Amino acid sequence: MPQKFIAQGAEAKLFLEGENILKSRFPKSYRIKDIDEKLRGFRTRREAKILQKLQALNFPAPKLIKNDEKENLIIEKINGKLIKNVLSLPNHKKLCGEIGKKIAILHNNSIIHGDLTTSNMIFNKEVYFIDFGLSFFSEKAEDKAVDLHLLKEGLESKHYKILEGCFKSAIDSYKKEAKNANETLKRLEAVEKRGRYRAKKGS
Q: What is the pLDDT of residues 49-58, one digit of tens each?
A: 999 999 999 9
- What average pLDDT does range 112-137 have in this prediction? 96
pLDDT confidence bin for 10, thresholds 50/70/90: confident
Q: In the CATH scheme, what is the code of domain 3-76?
A: 3.30.200.20
Residues in Cβ contact with 73 at an 8 Å cutoff, skipping those fewer than 6 apart:
22, 23, 44, 47, 48, 51, 64, 66, 67
**Average pLDDT along the chain:** 92
CA–CA separation, 98 and 199 (whole Å): 31
Which one of 36, 68, 115, 143 is the catalytic residue? 115
In the chain, CATH 3.30.200.20 sits at 3-76
Confidence of residue 91 (pLDDT cuts 50, 70, 90): confident
As a whole number of angstroms, the distance between CA 152 and CA 116 comes to: 9
Q: Is the pLDDT of residue 191 over 60?
A: yes
For Cα atoms 68, 73, 79, give the angle at the middle one, nearest 5 degrees.
155
Cα 34 to Cα 3, 37, 39, 42, 72: the distances in Å are 28, 5, 9, 12, 17
Q: Is 115 labeled as catalytic in the residue annotation?
A: yes
The model's confidence at residue 195, banded by pLDDT at 50, 70 and 90, is: low
SS3 18: coil
Q: Are 155 and 66 in contact (CB under 8 A)?
A: no
The fold adopted by the segment(s) 81-202 is: Transferase(Phosphotransferase); domain 1 (1.10.510)
CA distances from 67 to 1, 52, 75, 115, 140 (A): 17, 11, 9, 22, 28
Q: What is the location of CATH 1.10.510.10 in the chain? A: 81-202
